Amino acid sequence: MDALDQVHLAFDARSLGLLNVILGIIMFGVALDLRVDDFRRVLREPRAIVLGLLGQLILLPALTFALVALLEVQPSVGLGMMVVASCPGGNVSNVITHLGKGNTGVSVTMTAITTLAAVVMTPFNLAFWGSRDPGVASLLTQVELDAGDMVATIGLILGLPLVLGMWTASRLPRVAARLRKPMRWISLLFLTLEVLGEAPAAEGEGAG
């Protein structure tokens, strides 16, 4: 078996809990620049949301399957690519959109919808596309996501920070103005340190 297949990411309950807190902090920083009108515009012009959802939930997994077949990667890598393509983007996409001066309202709305849809679409895309590649199919196991856990996660890392950030910007504008710039870099630093902090543990697990 390839050495790559021996690598395990050491995300235990503590690490995942810490990561969720960090993602919540990141979302709070993003929300400092959001207004209710941003979401009203999204509702008035839903085309971007519809196209984005079609691209992320349908087109991306299909293109990933084609890429796996074209590159003829080993099954474990192919499965990993399909897992990534089938999962929602999460708060990191909101940060990238925000820093890139994109439409953060659209990004946040898509994050909420795709995370909820992941309860159905992630297992579906993995089963549908994974079963069409013999190597990946040999590694597939049953994939289930708990709807209650997904809703709770959205509330923790998206809903609550979003409300707090927008409330701070609306009611405490001076505080928000002071927080905006440092929050951008602090949030990215926290996320980077958390991900890099798992690398030694993953290497150790793989060497065992």
| Model pLDDT for residues 3-38, shown as the tens digit of each residue | 666 666 656 677 778 778 888 888 999 999 999 999
- Map tokens 């609306």 to a residue: 170
| Model pLDDT for residues 132-168, shown as the tens digit of each residue | 999 999 888 777 778 888 888 889 899 999 999 999 9
- Torsion angle defined by CA atoms of residues 44, 91, 122 and 193, in that order, rounded to the nearest 10 degrees: 170
Can you give the pTM of this predicted structure? 0.80
Task: Spell out the domain ranges in the chain.
Answer: 43-197
- Which residues, other chains included, contact 92 with Cβ-Cβ below 8 Å and sequence gap of 6+? 23, 26, 191
- Reduce the DSSP state of residue 133 to 3 states and report it: coil
Task: Report angle CA 99, 191, 12 to the nearest 5 degrees.
Answer: 150
- Closest alpha carbon to 40 in 106, 116, 130: 106
Asked whether 28 and 183 are in contact (CB, 8 A), the reply is yes
DSSP state, 87?
S
